[in-house]
Structure 1
Amino acid sequence: MSLDFGLTDVHVLISGASGGIGRETALCFKELGSKVTAHYNSSIRDLESISGLVPIKADVTSEEQVDQLFEQAKQRQGRPVQVLVVNHGIWPVEPFLLADMSLEHWQRTHDVNLTGSFLLIRAFLRQLKGQPEEILDKVSVVTIGSTAGKFGEKDHGDYASTKASLMYGLLPTLKNEIVLIAPKGRVNSVNPGWVMTPMAEETIKDDKVRARALASTPLQKVAMPSDVARQVAVLCSPVLSGHVTGVNVMVDGGMEGRCLYPPPN
């Protein structure tokens, strides 16, 4: 049985599309027949070589570049962005307790992860104003949160703070505001635990880190980028999730909390 997601020819913009989750999400939407704009910041990686993707570079902390991103996407795809996947983000590898964290470190993470998300969402909403019903009927936003936003994360309070803000502050606010522009517009969040991405792979290889990560996870495995991408596609689908908004979906294997020390053998 074939399943129509209702996303054929829908214009989808994915931020941070050159990373593990972003790239897989872009491929997933491409397979569903969407018009996919793949945003990247510094490294395009192999996006240019993937048929059907339109890669566009932009610094998400720059108002001007974000506005240009949406204008370029509209010009190249022939219609405004209808679905926004806010996937970009940084997770500084070097650990810092809050007592030892510099203001510069804190601000940099918030500038990229939180302010960058705000600028993308604001530009997205603005370019939808006055659009016809056929465009507005497919409008959706999905942000990529994290278990860090739910449980916190020792040594990475900056990252946890940005994700909690997206999941529990911005999401419920935006789901009430987006309908003022797009009456059927929906906003949800997909929140992974550890995912086997290039950014996290080296850290996950550490036996102690992996043991702590899986100590409270019933499924006892690290997610793959496709696990996250498919949930994003389901939530963006007006057919499968047309009455779902304001929801945080945890893609974490059932994780119940943090284990600060490796479990006993």
Structure 2
Amino acid sequence: MFMFSSLEQQVGGIGLEAVRTFRQLGARVTAHYNSNIGELRTLEDVTCIQADVRDEASVDRLLQQAAEQNGGPVSVLVVNHGIWPSNNTGIADMELGQWQNTLAVNLTGPFLLCRAYLRALRNADVAVKDTANIIFIGSTAGKFGEANHGDYAASKSALMYGLTPTLKNEIVSIAPRGRVNSVNPGWVATPMAEETLKDTAFVERALATTPLQKVSLPVDVATQIAVVASPVLSGHINGMNIMVDGGMEGRLLFPPKAQ
């Protein structure tokens, strides 16, 4: 069984597309949401469960309900949820409350989800353990940083370069074939990013070091998640950061000067 953790507040994002992709592949899917179930409500044969990832008891209950309602423990955990505060605020001016809330959602939430998942995995049967893996959804912000969004960048970097290599060594003590990887997109054409991506100058700067010169679609990321999740296609891929960013090599520090 696959479980997707998502806090997307608008429909049409990576989480929704990933759920659709895994359903098309015949998987049993549990989809987590925080407050807005959105289009998940319209999908057939998908178990939807509400939980606040910042709350320990809520996360433990989420994994228990997923097992009860979908016929067995979660075998693949996709940690897709996250918030990106839209206000442009440098570290020098950032309120402590913003920093703490971003890390509570984007970092403590994944910790609680992974802990609950691994505890449940201890009692799972061999078939579940043989397909066990955790997939984080990181970001180019975690690799290159992101000016005025240091809270988001720090949380994603911690998933990509802290938890991923740590957990790939720990999961095998519970499930010998267990794997942990991170799929890391750049800008994705989701409803949440729609207004930002209408700014042509912004898109040009964002793609300035990207050879493919295009913004990815949710399906680009969802397909890569499915490939990584497959023990047939990716059974020997472990502890990796897989960039889904068109070959991005960095960021422009400042807008290009007028000619």
**TM-score (ref. length: structure 1):** 0.94
Give per-residue Cα distances to partners, 1:146-201, cap 9 Å, x unaligned: 00000000100000000000000110000000000011000000000000112212
Which of 191, 199, 210 in structure 2 is aligned with 1:206? Answer: 199
Q: Which runs of 5+ in 1 are unaligned?
A: 1-10
Match of 1:148 in 2: 141
Cα displacement (A) at 1:82 = 0.3
Please say if 1:87 is aligned against 2:77: no
Counterpart of 1:14, as a letter, is F
Match of 1:12 in 2: 2
Which of 121, 125, 130 in structure 2 is aligned with 1:128? Answer: 121
Count matched residues. Answer: 255
State how 1:68-87 maps to structure 2 within 5 Å. Answer: 68-87=61-80
Give per-residue Cα distances to partners, 1:200-248, cap 9 Å, x unaligned: 1211211222111011111000000000001110001000000110000
Please say if 1:159 is aligned against 2:152: yes
DSSP 3-state at the match of 1:210: helix
Provide the C-alpha distance between the structure 1 equivalents of 2:218 and 2:255, rounded to a whole number of angstroms: 25
Asked whether the equivalents of residues 12 and 83 of structure 1 are also in contact (C-alpha less than 8 Å), the reply is yes
Asked whether the equivalents of residues 60 and 120 of structure 1 are also in contact (C-alpha less than 8 Å), the reply is yes
Asked whether the equivalents of residues 211 and 263 of structure 1 are also in contact (C-alpha less than 8 Å), the reply is no
Match of 2:59 in 1: 66
Asked whether the equivalents of residues 187 and 215 of structure 2 are also in contact (C-alpha less than 8 Å), the reply is yes
Provide the C-alpha distance between the structure 1 equivalents of 2:142 and 2:156, rounded to a whole number of angstroms: 5
Please say if 1:38 is aligned against 2:31: yes
Cα displacement (A) at 1:46 = 1.5
State how 1:217-228 maps to structure 2 within 5 Å. Answer: 217-228=210-221
DSSP 3-state at the match of 1:239: helix
DSSP 3-state at the match of 2:233: coil
Which of 186, 189, 214 in structure 1 is aligned with 2:182? Answer: 189
DSSP 3-state at the match of 1:55: strand
Asked whether the equivalents of residues 7 and 83 of structure 2 are also in contact (C-alpha less than 8 Å), the reply is no
Which aligned segments of 4 or more residues in structure 1 are displaced greater than 3 angstroms? 262-265
Cα displacement (A) at 1:261 = 2.8
DSSP 3-state at the match of 1:164: helix
Match of 2:172 in 1: 179
The percent of aligned pairs where both chains have the same amino acid is 59
Counterpart of 1:15, as a letter, is S
Cα displacement (A) at 1:32 = 0.8
Asked whether the equivalents of residues 99 and 151 of structure 2 are also in contact (C-alpha less than 8 Å), the reply is yes
Cα displacement (A) at 1:17 = 6.8
Asked whether the equivalents of residues 17 and 23 of structure 1 are also in contact (C-alpha less than 8 Å), the reply is no
